Amino acid sequence: MESSYLVVNKILIKGIEQTYQCEFEQGLNIIWGDMDSGKSSILNLIDYCLGGKGTELDYDEIKSKGRVAYLETDLNGSITTFERVLHHDDSLIKVYNSAYSEIDSIYPKLCSPSVTVEQPDGWISDLILEKLNIPKVKIKESKLRDDATAYRLSFRDLMKLLYLKQKKVASENLMDAANGALLNKNVEIQKFVYGVHDDQLSELNIELQNNTRRLNELKTKADNIREFLKSTDSLNVNDSELVELRSNLKDIDNEIKKLSNEQGLASLISQEFRKQLNEFEGLLTSNKKKYQKNKKKLENFIRLKSTYEHDLQCLSASSSFKAHSVKTDRDLSFDCPLCESKLEINSPVLSETDLVSENRSLKNRIQGCKSSINSLNDQQDDLLADIKELELTIADIRGEFDKNSISKISPLVESINTLHNTKKVVYSQLASIEKNIKLKNKLLESTEEIANKETTISRIRASIKDVEEKLNDLDDIMNGLSGEFRYLMRHSKLSNNYGSSVDGKFLPVFRERPYSNISSGGVRTIMSVHLYLSRLRYLIKNGGNLPTFLMLDTPGQNIGRYARATDNEDNLSDPTIYEEIYKQVIDFDKLSRKKNKVYQIIVVDNDLANCLNESDYKLVKRFDKSDSSFEKGLIFDA
């Protein structure tokens, strides 16, 4: 049986102000440093992105700064990126069949973190199992009870075998040993992992039927996408067209910016024209108002002059008549033809002296009116000359303004409008190509899913054949696991080293005593760590329905790095025991090369073993709150 593999490439936390990132490689990866710096949170984030609960994310800095987590993985050769909002266990998980750097060109799948919540693309566990080519079977809680519940296999069940949490290291409840129902379920799951299919033939046949039906659906979906791309002549669309269009957009934006600057200069010139025009138009308006005002004054003076001349004529006539004596009754009276008041003949008359004086006054007034009229006429002539000159100047400025607009501004505006229209066309082409590239990527994704599904079907058929031929025997499995565990314990440097094995519950035994009967925390630490390491060694050698992946959180717990005079096994302090754990982890590289298998181990610890050379591992992060050359924690700016 072949084993699948899971490799974490990177994890990113997108925060309020920046993005925090950790990068990993195949083989051994180490995160170490000060306590309470977010080391364990990195493992918890990996688990969370793969469908785990967010309750383990209790690192305060993540709560205050983190918003979204991205996990880029290699699942059996399929590069897959998971996106999940932090602090919301019920939020959907977006899955991109691409590296993190390419997710913008991919339509994500929308998956539910729980089997009880529906999302368009189903449960995240099913998707991960499909990519790992692990059959989705039902596991009975116990085969000893006829009424035992059959559970649908979940990747969360398998994650218990891939992630040894800090609180589980040396725990009395290792592998849910304190809960009978869960322990029995874990036993049945591990039988499935190691290929003990004694009563699962019907389940495997059902799974074969379901996978075959799903394979046909995927082929139909791929054919539909392919036909659409053919119909739009987009089957051969590639990223180079996208790059070219984006480059064209950039060039258009630069040209628009350049022309806008030129338009700005032309606008400044136009503004200067407009300023001059406004000044001259203001003068013209002012002169025209003065002209009209003077015109009214002139009319008034002319009327006044006429009135004075008329009065002068009347006065002259009165003087002429006065020279002739007319005898009449002076007691007579008559009505004034103007005001109808009574006029008496015997009314006093002006003396000759008064008439002469009035005559002189009227002539002076007439002369004054003539002077004013002449002055106003001169002003009007000057104003008319100024008005004509201003009108000619304004006409010249307007001509220059129109000429400037036609020769400079209008072509610029037209060019800018043309570029904006071209930009719209390019944007439309870009959107179309981006859509077709996403569809093409969807086609590639479907093709990859088809290949994975065919591999899964082949593995199910092989499993069915194994069951029918009874190739896998539980005793053989237990002997193989016990052999790996015994090998690790023999090199652990523990005293009284005998009686090591893995029992029928898949729990470790040491000194011929089951794990639950071992009181020493230090010894339980070694046993729990070696149980997980022995499982990984077995999978690399023999394969199984579990990826060759392991996360260890503080494997040196309860083991001091420096010897003390009063040692006891509750807290082992022999540094060779601590170092030996890492020597055994280093040996996985040699084993994987020999078996040509891909594996990954991620270890979180407070210290770095002396036996490690830089070439033995990938240093993911080192946190040190007292040394500024290292980050103080996962969220380093909190």
| Residue at 140 is within a domain | yes
Q: How far apart are CA 193 and CA 189, in angstroms?
A: 6
Note whether 431 and 484 are same-domain residues.
Answer: no
Are 562 and 533 contacting, i.e. CB atoms less than 8 angstroms apart?
no
Note whether 486 and 529 are same-domain residues.
Answer: yes
| Residue at 419 is within a domain | yes
Note whether 347 and 442 are same-domain residues.
Answer: yes
Q: Which residues of 584-618 are buried (b: 16+ CB within 10 A; e: fewer)?
A: bbbebbeebeebebbbbbbbbbeeebebbeeebbb
| Residue at 346 is within a domain | yes
pLDDT tens digits, residue range 274-310? 777 787 788 888 888 988 888 888 888 888 888 888 8
pLDDT at 340 over 70: no
Residue 3 is encoded by which pair of tokens?
Answer: 């084993």
| Residue at 225 is within a domain | no
Note whether 31 and 174 are same-domain residues.
Answer: yes
Q: Give me the domain span that covers residue 483.
A: 6-196+472-623
| Residue at 465 is within a domain | no
Which of the pair, 269 or 608, is modelled with greater confidence? 608
Which of the pair, 370 or 537, is modelled with greater confidence? 537
pLDDT at 564 over 50: no
Note whether 314 and 432 are same-domain residues.
Answer: yes
pLDDT tens digits, residue range 430-481? 777 777 777 777 777 778 888 888 888 887 787 777 766 654 578 889 999 9
Note whether 247 and 396 are same-domain residues.
Answer: yes
Which of 130-134, 339-343, 617-621 has the highest average model confidence (pLDDT)?
Answer: 617-621
| Residue at 528 is within a domain | yes
DSSP 257: H
Q: Name the residue among 16, 59, 53 with its Cα closest to residue 37.
A: 59
| Residue at 453 is within a domain | no
Note whether 300 and 173 are same-domain residues.
Answer: no
Give 45's pLDDT tier (boundaries 50, 70, 90): very high
Q: Residues 535, 590, 75, 603: is their CA dihedral positive or negative? A: positive
- Output the domain CATH number for residue 388: 1.10.287.1490
Note whether 424 and 476 are same-domain residues.
Answer: no
Instruction: State which of 413, 433, 448 marks the end of a domain.
Output: 448
pLDDT tens digits, residue range 580-608? 999 999 999 999 999 999 999 999 998 88
Are 22 and 8 contacting, i.e. CB atoms less than 8 angstroms apart?
no
Residue 570 is encoded by which pair of tokens?
Answer: 């509750």
Note whether 256 and 383 are same-domain residues.
Answer: yes
Q: Is the pTM of this model over 0.85?
A: no
- Output the domain CATH number for residue 616: 3.40.50.300
User: Where would I find the H helices in 134-200?
Assistant: 155-162, 180-193
Which of the pair, 166 or 72, is modelled with greater confidence? 72
Note whether 378 and 514 are same-domain residues.
Answer: no
- Overall number of domains in the chain: 2
| Residue at 631 is within a domain | no
Which residue do the tokens 């005593």 mark?
513
pLDDT at 566: 47
pLDDT at 337: 61
Note whether 49 and 121 are same-domain residues.
Answer: yes
Note whether 303 and 163 are same-domain residues.
Answer: no
pLDDT at 589: 95
CA-based max dimension of the chain:
176
Give 17's pLDDT tier (boundaries 50, 70, 90): confident
Instruction: State which of 412, 432, 448 marks the end of a domain.
Output: 448
